[in-house]
Amino acid sequence: MPDPTAPTARWSFDAQATAADFDRGGAVFALGDGSVRFASGERQDAHDGAVLSAAVHPSGDGLVTGGDDGRIVWSRRDGLEVLAEVPGRWIDSVATAPETGLIAAAAGRGLVVLDAADRAFRRDHAAERTLAAVAFDPKGRRVAAATYGGALVWFARIAGQRPTLYKWGGSHTAVAWSPDGAFLITAMQDNQLHGWRLKDVRDMRMGGYPSKIRNLAFLSKGQLLATPGAQGAVLWPFVGANGPMGREATEIGFDQSAMVALVAARPAHGRLVAGLDDGRVWVADPAAQGLDFVRADKGAAITALALSPDGRQVAWADEDGEAAVAEISV
């Protein structure tokens, strides 16, 4: 019988993939050579330099990417459009909000906010320090940014405001809101998470990681937060008003010979995908038993990973430019 988790398509790109995602037409990869590659075969040369960040456009069609050329670009299968430019700055992170049609980008010490429905709309918010990552709240109205010393939060559309600072010493490198909007979580340079319960600004320290935490992913209707940075995928409980406070994390897929480099999930589903630093990729349901390896062969470290919105496909790519999409059993 055919393997239900075998890749349905493979590519050997001539550059390393820096991001993978799924728009409404299928898988999309962003590469270090500045190009955006669609699984359906189209290619757009979006940047003069590397793609540093990517997110699906609010319309669901194509990718919004940020590059080291200071450009924010919307790439579709039928063309591309430069949405904004920030000369002399790298666009280290982009986020999009389908709920409001807004786009946010971290550009050095500035936050740029655009409106997909209004080409004339632009807000430039200033910060004291470089912004490492950005994320919209679940309603798409506020933007959080990870920075040195904590997280900053702006109301995206309001000009001339001072952001709210959620303070915690150290360098914060990734950021995510819980799907219910009750918690703000950051990953830190010193291999730990930090969080704030927003109703009373209560701090949460979430440590014990042996390696860098490169991304954050909520799943199971927001009841679990998954992270890489350990020899298995680390899961923090977010059930109830206290979230993970006073609770221990669990770990699935522990493997003494490898580290989890990236995780991917969707809040609406209970499925978790992990990409390892030895090139393997597995899928699991934390409520069930066992792992399904959609890439069992070892190779170069996984650098891009995504789960489709319906939870039925996985896309991944590694340091050598090898990429694939696989159907996974329900």
* Cβ count near 289 (within 10 Å): 8
Measured CA to CA, the distance from residue 279 to residue 299 in angstroms comes to 5
Q: Model confidence at 2, in pLDDT bands (50, 70, 90)?
A: very low
Measured CA to CA, the distance from residue 24 to residue 313 in angstroms comes to 13
| 156 is a domain residue | yes
Q: Model confidence at 21, in pLDDT bands (50, 70, 90)?
A: very high
Residue 299 neighbours by CB under 8 Å, 6+ apart: 278, 279, 318, 320, 322
294-300: average pLDDT = 96
pLDDT over threshold 50, residue 256: yes
Q: Give percent of the chain above pLDDT 90.
A: 93
Q: Which pLDDT score is estimated for 6?
A: 57
> Element (H or E) spanning 330, and its range?
none
In terms of C-beta density within 10 A (0-12 exposed, 13-18 middle, 19 or more buried), how is residue 176 classed? buried
Could you tell me the residue range of the domain that residue 87 belongs to?
7-327
Q: Which pLDDT score is estimated for 330?
A: 61
| 267 is a domain residue | yes
> Which is nearest to 151 in space by CA: 179, 207, 111?
111
| 128 is a domain residue | yes
Tell me the pLDDT of the chain averaged across its residues.
95
pLDDT over threshold 70, residue 208: yes
| 245 is a domain residue | yes
* Cβ count near 65 (within 10 Å): 33
| 33 is a domain residue | yes
Q: Which pLDDT score is estimated for 329?
A: 75
| 290 is a domain residue | yes
Residues 214-251: tens digit of each pLDDT:
999 999 999 999 999 999 999 999 998 888 998 999 99
118-132: average pLDDT = 97
| 1 is a domain residue | no
Measured CA to CA, the distance from residue 262 to residue 65 in angstroms comes to 19
Q: Which pLDDT score is estimated for 4?
A: 44
Q: Which pLDDT score is estimated for 49?
A: 96
pLDDT over threshold 90, residue 287: no
pLDDT over threshold 60, residue 1: no
CATH number at 246 reads 2.130.10.10
| 2 is a domain residue | no
For residue 86, what are the CA distances in angstroms to 52, 109, 123, 253, 323? 14, 11, 12, 42, 31
The residue that leads in pLDDT, 288 or 74, is: 74
The residue that leads in pLDDT, 5 or 179, is: 179
Query: What domain count does the chain have?
Result: 1
Q: Which pLDDT score is estimated for 222?
A: 96
Encoded tokens for 318:
């590694």
89-116: average pLDDT = 98
Residues 31-60: tens digit of each pLDDT:
999 999 999 999 999 999 999 999 999 999
For the chain, how many residues are written? 330
Q: Which pLDDT score is estimated for 246?
A: 86
Long-range contacts of 288-296 (CB under 8 A, 24+ apart): 291/252, 291/253, 292/5, 292/328, 292/329, 293/5, 294/5, 294/7, 294/326, 294/328, 295/7, 295/324, 295/326
Q: Which pLDDT score is estimated for 78?
A: 97
